[in-house]
Amino acid sequence: MGEFTLELNEDQKQVRDWLHGFAADVMRPAAAEWDEREETPWPIIQEAAKIGIYSLDFYAQQFFDPTGLGIPMAMEELFWGDAGIALSIVGTGLAAVGVLANGTEEQIGTWVPQMYGDANDVKVAAFCSSEPDAGSDVASMRTRAVYDEAKDEWVLNGTKTWATNGGIANVHVVVAVVDAELGSKGHASFIVPPNTPGLSQGQKFQKHGIRASHTAEVVLEDVRVPGHCLLGGKDKLDERLARAREKAKAGGKGAPPSGSWGSVKNAAMATFEASRPAVGAMAVGTARAAYEVALDYAKTRVQFGRPIIENQGVAFQLADMATQIDAARLLVWRASWMATAGKPFTAAEGSMSKLYASEVAKKVTAQAIQILGGNGYTREYPVERMHRDAAIYTIFEGTSEIQRMVISRALAK
């Protein structure tokens, strides 16, 4: 029997230390500035590109780590540095995952490199799924894609919202309805190439946290994309829709609710399923950062003649924080290993990791502010920013309520 270990190997440790150095030396000193500016930190993205962190090659190497720990390890270290800047660096990855989850090998090879550009001309990409009236309820999506057979083009119309890098991206991946009668099973993903007429940026959102990451609406007005921009190809789409229609007909009640088709895959959900453990790792990074600030502060802050960590009330809080962070990391690592090993999430292990880690991040960052007292409430200390940043983890890529619904449905099978 092979040896069981949770220890990173030497190559993984070197990558971790390299990322930690970039996060400590480049990201953290700039974090407060870009949070205040609420702008995409292009200079830092370019620095990341120059040393190879912001590149397709780097993320491919981590993605294909045979242990499955490459991506969560990278996410934790970068988000330990700063969540807003880190999301600007890794946000393109969600669009890339959208192509990897739904595209052909040719589409992957064509479009994913264009999402990153190069060190001299960095680019970003955007994944556009949510809409003003369709967030968690993907079946309510209104953006339509109509096939123009004469020109072999798809015509897209609608408005997307909450799009990371929306409107400033070189490549947009857009989820749209191709058969409204099939609900969420009638969706497909499309590549919108650079400078395509009809795509524009709508409202840019001013956010509570992760303010260095660009979030905006994307407006699609008669956007025409070539037929080869349908991810997976039209033959595959037609086969998938035909299976969905057969199942609906057999059921006699039309299209069933989202998630009940089994093998009939939804384009947006396939992307989120692949990315949930990575989001959990982001939350672990932010939680760990706040915990370390609180721990250092508790060791050096003297009140009533002794460091406050010697007070049981503070010490027990720190003990709980450390335990919860480790538990969250282990859930993330398990889900990441399962995905790499090809083991199905029969108990919604991906959602478990995202749910628990995101809730821990909110709780730990709030406790860190409490331990720092009045100092924690000011912007002179980073835990205030970390607390604002942590709020997003229980919201994006499936709220905590949605994760609980996914887990409970899995348990009920």
Three-state DSSP state, 207: coil
Query: Annotated catalytic, 239?
Result: no
Residue 102 near residue 231, CB atoms below 8 Å? yes
**CA-to-CA separations, 347 to 82, 268, 300, 342, 397, in angstroms, rounded:** 32, 20, 44, 14, 18
Query: Which residue, among 87, 68, 63, 65, has the nearest Cα to 349 in the 3D structure?
Result: 68
Q: Which of 33, 39, 397, 401 is catalytic?
A: 397
CA angle 209, 81, 382 (to 5 degrees): 55
Dihedral, CA atoms, 393, 398, 400, 404, nearest 10 degrees?
A: -150
Reading phi first (left if > 0) and then psi (alpha if -120 to 50, else beta), residue 319 is in alpha
Bridge-based pairing state of the strands 153-164 and 144-148:
antiparallel
User: CA 285, CA 250: separation in Å to the nearest integer?
Assistant: 47
Query: Which residue, among 81, 75, 74, 88, has the nearest Cα to 25 in the 3D structure?
Result: 81
Bridge-based pairing state of the strands 199-204 and 215-226:
antiparallel
- Strand intervals (E) in 165-276: 171-177, 187-192, 199-204, 215-226
Which helix (H) or strand (E) element contains residue 246? Answer: helix 234-251
Which active-site residues does the annotation give?
A: 397
